[in-house]
Amino acid sequence: MKKVIFIVGSKCDLIEKEEISENEARNFAESINAEFTLTSALDNIGIKEMFENAVKKFVERNNDDNIVNNQNNNFQIINEKVNKTKKKKCC
């Protein structure tokens, strides 16, 4: 299974407190073959997209037939191996 690495710049709503530039972070992500995204939980920026992109990249890299993507980017994991435990009878 091939991993997907994300570098996530959080608190992008606080640009005035930025310690690492966006370009620096993007260049670092590129240098280690990682994805890069900016997010802000406070302003709800990039959170949903980051998770959707993470699943999409994972599926692309792994060509996993157990994960289906419909037209609305709703991913569904199909698990055909369901562990069925036998119920123990009392007494």
pLDDT in tens, the chain (91 residues): 678 888 888 898 888 888 888 899 999 999 999 999 999 988 998 898 888 888 888 878 777 555 555 555 555 555 555 455 556 667 6
Within a domain: 50: yes
Query: What is the C-alpha separation between 13 and 57, in angstroms, rounded?
Result: 26
Q: How many domains does the chain have?
A: 1
Q: Which domain holds residue 24?
A: 6-66
Within a domain: 55: yes
Position 28 scores a pLDDT of 94
Q: Please identify which residue in the block is written with the tokens 């994960």.
A: 67
Q: Please identify which residue in the block is written with the tokens 């055909």.
A: 80
Q: How far, CA to CA in Å, does 81 sit from each of 62, 69, 77, 86?
A: 19, 20, 12, 15
Within a domain: 74: no
Within a domain: 43: yes
Which residues face 69 on adjacent strands?
75
Within a domain: 29: yes
Position 70 scores a pLDDT of 56
Query: What is the C-alpha separation between 25 and 36, in angstroms, rounded?
Result: 8
Position 25 scores a pLDDT of 92
Position 74 scores a pLDDT of 58
Within a domain: 52: yes
Position 14 scores a pLDDT of 84
Within a domain: 91: no
Within a domain: 87: no
Position 32 scores a pLDDT of 93
